């Protein structure tokens, strides 16, 4: 089965996207910040860092299980399948989604991606009020919103995240999508290398470690966001409130945008690669 002209164009867009962060050069502040984080964690004994990152991985697994156990996740799967049936009535299973064209799948994916960007925007706006409950739950809510969006993107392109390999892959996609641009090239290569090595959907054969010190740059950024929101909200002027709103909503929206863009490019890459392999 050969690619259509539109699919060839999508493949070229993916290559251009990957090249953009493989050749990315951060500014002096970003490079200095990255070196500081690396130096800080490499100076800590491995006997302390290993259990810490294992707990973060466990926490991420629990979030995945929590999302999969929610009724709204089942409803979202059904909505995706119903949307697909508009294009092809023979679609009943997640795997059947691959019967659709990449344009049709992109259209369905855009529907839920746009919805989750709005969720992030609203959640950032609530954080901007500086209410303790919103400030304390901001990062967890942001992780849940975007991890769910990655999982729904995987489902849209025909990859069921309830299967062990796809579960681990979706978590690693979220992790890589959350990394700074200068590190995404390495993460993309690790993801695509695993595609060449896996042989079973029902057993995950790769490295189960997900989070490392590189990912912690994002939580640090979120802490800075919360700090500045708290700082500006000490001033009761309307100008300060507007600045807090811009910081909270803007930061959350940008995070969702970069995570969802990466996830869609990755699953489009998977879809096109699988379609190409069907020829052989």
* Token couple for 242: 């507007």
Contacts for 197-201: CB closer than 8 Å, 24+ residues apart: 198/165, 200/165, 201/163, 201/164, 201/165, 201/166
For residue 108, give Cα distances in angstroms to 80, 156, 157, 174: 7, 7, 9, 20
Average pLDDT, the chain: 85
For residue 237, pLDDT beyond 70:
no
pLDDT at 45: 78
Alpha-carbon gap, residue 275 to 263, rounded angstroms: 18
pLDDT tens figures, 127-178: 888 888 888 888 889 999 999 999 999 999 999 998 888 999 999 999 999 9
| C-alpha count within 13 angstroms, C-beta hemisphere, residue 227 | 6
Alpha-carbon gap, residue 235 to 252, rounded angstroms: 22
Pick the closest to residue 134 from 121, 144, 119, 124 (CA basis).
124
Q: Which residues, other chains included, contact 269 with Cβ-Cβ below 8 Å and sequence gap of 6+?
A: 11, 14, 192
126 and 141 Cβ atoms separated by less than 8 Å: no
pLDDT tens figures, 81-105: 999 999 999 999 999 999 999 999 9
3-state secondary structure 185-211: HHHHHHHHHHHHHCCCCCCCCCCCCCC
pLDDT at 277: 75
For residue 248, pLDDT beyond 60:
yes
Q: Which residues, other chains included, contact 122 with Cβ-Cβ below 8 Å and sequence gap of 6+?
A: 249
Please state the pTM of the whole predicted model. 0.89
């Amino acid at each position: 089965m050969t690619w259509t002209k539109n699919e060839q164009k999508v493949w070229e867009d993916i290559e251009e996207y990957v090249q953009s962060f493989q050749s990315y050069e951060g500014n002096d502040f970003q490079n200095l910040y990255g070196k500081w984080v690396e130096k800080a964690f490499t100076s800590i004994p491995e006997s302390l860092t290993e259990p810490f990152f294992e707990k973060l991985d466990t926490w991420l697994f629990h979030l995945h299980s929590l999302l999969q156990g929610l009724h709204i996740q089942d409803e979202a799967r059904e909505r995706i399948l119903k949307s697909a049936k508009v294009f092809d009535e023979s679609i009943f299973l997640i795997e059947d989604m691959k019967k659709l064209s990449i344009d049709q799948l992109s259209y369905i994916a855009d529907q839920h991606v746009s919805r989750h960007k709005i969720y992030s925007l609203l959640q950032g706006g609530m954080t901007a009020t500086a209410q303790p409950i919103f400030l304390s739950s901001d990062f967890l809510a942001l992780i849940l919103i975007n991890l769910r969006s990655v999982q729904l993107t995987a489902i849209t392109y025909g990859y069921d995240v309830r299967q062990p390999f796809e579960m681990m892959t979706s978590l690693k996609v979220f992790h890589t999508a959350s990394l700074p641009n200068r590190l995404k090239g390495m993460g993309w290569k690790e993801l695509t290398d695993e595609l060449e090595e896996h042989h079973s959907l029902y057993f995950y054969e790769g490295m189960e470690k997900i989070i490392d010190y590189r990912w912690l740059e994002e939580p640090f950024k979120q802490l800075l966001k919360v700090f500045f929101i708290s700082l500006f909200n000490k001033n009761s002027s309307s100008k300060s409130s507007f600045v807090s709103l811009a910081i909270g909503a803007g930061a959350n929206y940008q995070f969702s945008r970069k995570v969802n863009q990466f996830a869609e490019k990755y699953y489009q890459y998977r879809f096109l690669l699988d379609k190409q392999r069907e020829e052989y």
